[in-house]
Amino acid sequence: MTTLEICNARGLDGAPLAVRVEHGRIAAIGPALPPPTPAEVVVHRIDARGALLMPGLVESHTHLDKTTWGMPWYVNECGSRLIDRIDNERAWRAASGHDAGAASLALARAFLAAGTTRLRTHVDIDTEAGLRHLDGVLATRETLSDRLDMQIVAFPQSGVLDRAGTVDLLDASLARGADVLGWLDPCAIDRDPRASLDAMFALADKHGCPVDIHLHEPGEMGVFSFELMLERVAALGMQGKVVVSHAFCLGELDAACADALLARLADAGVALITTAPPSRVVPPLMACRRAGVPLAGGNDGIRDTWTPYGSPDMLERAMMIGLRYNLRRDDELDIALDCVTHQGARACRFEDYGLHVGARADLVLVDAINAAQAIVTRAPRRWVVANGHVVVSEGVAV
Ligand SMILES: [Zn+2]
């Protein structure tokens, strides 16, 4: 039996911590390890020298297929409306010959090297690109399958109702290997929210898959979309299978209205994902936590035609969350880390996540005394273990 052992680490509470990994799982974890049995052969021992041990980082919302990561700089001259960005991207994609397979692989490898072991990526599905992006990202998932746990969302970036054939393409995407059905603003983009959401839930119901909807709609419009979604969650028994990304409208409500809607979201098992954008209102973090609604962190696009910002470092995204929500005390920054670890696993339903016996061995060791220092300094990843494989050793990607 092959075994990896990590000794002389410290947990997020500062206490000594050691871990034994067998067959990609945590076999033992605690202040000290029991001696190996005669059947166990320790083939790799890491002396962490006091490094902070955290679970593998979770990226809950990105777009691996769109990125220009590692490519020449993209000069952004796009208009400022949502529809400008959608049209601009489609035009750029067609003109540049963008290869979603190569792009997604480069960015996914960078995520792994920075300690992200679970990742949900949206992949553009539309009547011009067809399933080309999906095939590229499926190849990336296959290449990294023994290390990175990747969920693929079939995402109709250009909208659905105005583009005949999109539902069929989404249907084909789910049959071909996408795990989650994505969707987009049923009022603001599809302009017929009942028909839009009926189409979304019918397709999800057909495939028995979860949904993850980009909801940029502001104020009352966004709340109306939430209401329509909640009706359909109840009618179809889709509790626990709906994620709403962005959900800016929740940040515009007064506290009583936000609490009332969050209570309904908690009952329906709806989870939220935020990028914590400095330029938009955001769902209320503490109210979500009080209500029991998971609120996870994600980058959204990274260095694509939408945005020059972002990096495949979830500690950097945790810092953005800390800045956006004014988290200053060290114990408050534990919450920012939670958004890119446990909350992400909960929102996206990644299985066997965490630092306990039986969990998938996804481990990150950094040079920091606690989560706050790790986040604020974006502490170097000293070791990264993904599904039991050492992918970063002594700070160097293996
Ligand atoms: Zn997105």
What CATH number does residue 43 fall under? 2.30.40.10
* 8 A C-beta contact, residue 183 and residue 214: yes
* C-alpha separations of 335 from 119, 176, 328, 342 in Å: 19, 37, 11, 10
In a shared domain, residues 63 and 50: no
Q: 398 CA distance to ligand 1 centroid (A)?
A: 30
What residues have their beta carbon closer than 5 A to ion ligand 1?
A: 300
259 SS3 class: helix
Distance separating alpha carbons of residues 345 and 120, to the nearest angstrom: 10
* Cβ within 8 Å of residue 206, ≥6 positions away: 171
> Ligand 1: distance of its center to the CA of 16 in Å?
39
CA 118 to mean position of chain CA atoms? 7
Q: Are residues 235 and 363 in the same domain?
A: no
Same domain, 109 and 141: yes
Same domain for 329 and 230?
Answer: yes
- 309 CA → ligand 1 middle, Å: 13
Q: Cα–Cα distance between 238 and 18 in angstroms, integer? A: 40
CA of 210 to the centre of ligand 1 (A): 16
Each residue's pLDDT, cut to its tens digit, for the chain (398 residues) gives 568 999 999 999 999 999 999 999 999 999 999 888 877 788 899 999 999 999 999 999 999 999 999 999 999 999 999 889 988 998 998 888 899 999 999 999 999 999 999 999 999 999 988 999 999 999 999 999 999 999 999 999 989 999 999 999 999 999 999 999 999 999 999 999 999 999 999 999 999 999 999 999 999 999 999 999 999 999 999 999 999 999 999 999 999 999 999 999 999 999 999 999 999 999 999 999 999 999 999 999 999 999 999 999 999 999 999 999 999 999 999 999 999 999 999 999 999 999 999 999 999 999 999 999 999 999 999 999 999 999 999 999 98
Range of the domain at 102: 57-348
CA of 348 to the centre of ligand 1 (A): 14
How far away, in angstroms, is 122 Cα from ligand 1 center? 7
213 and 256 co-located in one domain: yes
Tell me: do 209 and 297 sit in the same domain: yes
CB 315 within 8 A of CB 338: no
For residue 64, the CA-to-ligand 1 centroid distance in Å is 10
14 plus 91 within the same structural domain: no
Largest separation between any pair of C-alpha atoms in the chain: 66
Instruction: Answer yes or no: do 69 and 218 share one domain.
Output: yes
How many domains, the chain?
2
Same-domain check for residues 171 and 259: yes
The answer to whether the CB of 191 falls within 8 A of the CB of 223 is no
Q: How far is the CA of 298 from the centre of ligand 1 (A)?
A: 9
Within this chain, do residues 367 and 329 fall inside the same structural domain, yes or no?
no
Q: Give the Å distance between the CA of 62 and the centre of ligand 1.
A: 6
We report the CATH number of the domain holding residue 251 as: 3.20.20.140
Does 106 share its domain with 225? yes
d(CA 179, CA 170): 11
Q: For residues 283 and 213, state if they share a domain.
A: yes
Q: Domain ends where: 348, 365, 388? A: 348
